[in-house]
Amino acid sequence: MSRHSISKERRLRTITTLPPDPDAEARERSLARLRSMTKREFFESLVHAGIYTPEGKLTQKYAGACDLYPVLTDEQMGKVPPKKLVRKTAPKTAPRRTSAKTAARESTGATRRKTVKKASRR
């Protein structure tokens, strides 16, 4: 009962050695081209490929019933510069948030309870 087994070294060499990728050079060229494109150029390439219409809508072939955003904004198409994010602040007249305990005390006019330390702890 002879069992053929592969040595651990050969098994590891087989696992870690991958064949060369024949499309690696073409993939790198296309990725470099995509990275150098502006939003407008990228959108125009999608229109040329038939994925989007010039108005920013998905073509019939790519539009599905469950698409959340079938229409791109002008900003996404590169027709207008991107808007800067402006952090909104609360208006100065906004009431402060209070706890239910504080609200109940203020409505009844009661004074604030303070913890009483035990006199025996001296």
Pairwise CA distance, residues 53 & 63, whole Å: 11
- Domain-by-domain residue ranges, the chain? 39-82
- DSSP for 6-74, please give it: --HHHHHHHHH--PPPTTHHHHHHHHHHHHH--HHHHHHHHHHTTSB-TTSBBPTTT--TT-S--B--H
Q: What angle do CA 61, 39, 68 make, to 5 degrees?
A: 40
Contact between 67 and 58 (Cβ < 8 Å): yes
- What type of residue sits at position 65? A
Residues 6+ apart with CB under 8 A from 30: none
**Tokens 């006019």 belong to which residue?**
109
Rounded to an integer, the average pLDDT of 12-35 is: 83
Q: What is the residue-averaged pLDDT of the chain? A: 77
pLDDT score, position 21: 84
Rounded to an integer, the average pLDDT of 56-80 is: 74
pLDDT score, position 99: 76
Pairwise CA distance, residues 109 & 6, whole Å: 85
Query: For residue 1, is pLDDT > 50?
Result: no
Q: How confident is the model at residue 15 (pLDDT cuts 50, 70, 90)?
A: low
Query: For residue 121, is pLDDT > 60?
Result: no
pTM for this predicted structure: 0.44
